[in-house]
Amino acid sequence: MAAVDQAHLFTFLCRMGDNTLVLGHRVSEWCGHAPVLEEDIALANTALDLIGQTQMWLGLAAKVEGKDRTADDLAMLRDVWDFRNVLLVEQPNGDFGQTIMRQFLFDAWHLAMLTALTKSTNADVAAIAAKSVKEVQYHVERAGDTVIGLGDGTTESHQRMQKALDLLWPYVGEMFVPDPVDDAMAAAGIAPDLTDLRGDYDALVASVLAQATLKTPEGSFAHKGGKSGFQHSEHLGHLLTQMQWLQRAYPGASW
């Protein structure tokens, strides 16, 4: 097996870490605002799980890069164009239903991806995936149950969930479209072929949406540009101004 290009590996690890970092921050925005106390705590738990996973992915990315940067440097001192998360995770929270729909659509991909990564030829990647996959199994179960509860709920909750699905569905495709980085990872056995994940994803999503009485939007148009860094949505910049504010205003500040 050919030695993998370290720059590609770095990009791949940033994608994994940026997905969890950006979504973790988004979910943390609910802290103190969720509709009920129990959901507030559950969302905070999910956010913390994702931030914990970020520390591992970006920590490994920094090690692979070998430029004396830390996970914190990568998280707090890069600007929008250096982020490699998919567009889905940077989308705004909207209402609670939109947040849960975004969570479910990502979690279902995340679970399939991490499950495959536990068999990675890279031992560090496999170890991070093995630790994360248990957390994500719970995330997908919780988000899926809530999608069903709200989709098959009142007229208003159903309407809102359908609206959220229609809004977010065009962001699903990006998670499954491989580029040269993904091809290099797959060739080295570090990560799966993304197209192989689609079958399980579609089956899980279809089953949950059917129970939720929601209609999968037609068409396969997919927004792109997040994981390549080519064209993030405007929302990511706003998110970073909040997330990175402290390190920007007080460089090097620590607890």
Partner 1 sequence: MSSPNSAYPDTPEAQDKPKRQEWPLWEVFIRGQHGMSHRHVGSLHAADEEMAIKNARDVYTRRNEGVSIWVVEARHIAASSPSDKGPLYEPSESKVYRHPTFFDIPDEVGAM
Binding residues (CB under 8 A) for partner 1: these are: 36-38, 41-42, 45, 94-95, 98, 138, 141-142, 145, 149, 154-156, 159-160, 163
Residues 6+ apart with CB under 8 A from 210: none
Per DSSP, the three-state class of 11 is helix
What is the rounded distance in angstroms from the CA atom of residue 86 to the CA atom of residue 106?
A: 10
Question: Which residue's CB is nearer to partner 1, number 122 or number 146?
Answer: 146
Shortest distance (Å) from residue 42 CB to partner 1: 4
Question: Which residue's CB is nearer to partner 1, number 49 or number 174?
Answer: 49
Shortest distance (Å) from residue 226 CB to partner 1: 23
Question: Which residue's CB is nearer to partner 1, number 145 or number 193?
Answer: 145
Question: Which residue's CB is nearer to partner 1, number 63 or number 131?
Answer: 131
Shortest distance (Å) from residue 156 CB to partner 1: 5
What is the rounded distance in angstroms from the CA atom of residue 232 to the CA atom of residue 212?
A: 30
Shortest distance (Å) from residue 98 CB to partner 1: 7
- The residue assigned the tokens 């899926």 is 144
Angle in degrees, 0-180, between the axes of helices 6-28 and 180-187, rounded to the nearest 10 = 110
Shortest distance (Å) from residue 149 CB to partner 1: 7
Tokens of 129: 């995936």
Shortest distance (Å) from residue 127 CB to partner 1: 20
Question: Which residue's CB is nearer to partner 1, number 141 or number 179?
Answer: 141
What is the rounded distance in angstroms from the CA atom of residue 37 to the CA atom of residue 216?
A: 31
**H-type helices in the chain, by residue range?**
6-28, 37-65, 71-76, 87-90, 96-117, 123-151, 155-168, 180-187, 194-211, 234-243, 245-249
Question: Which residue's CB is nearer to partner 1, number 52 or number 178?
Answer: 52
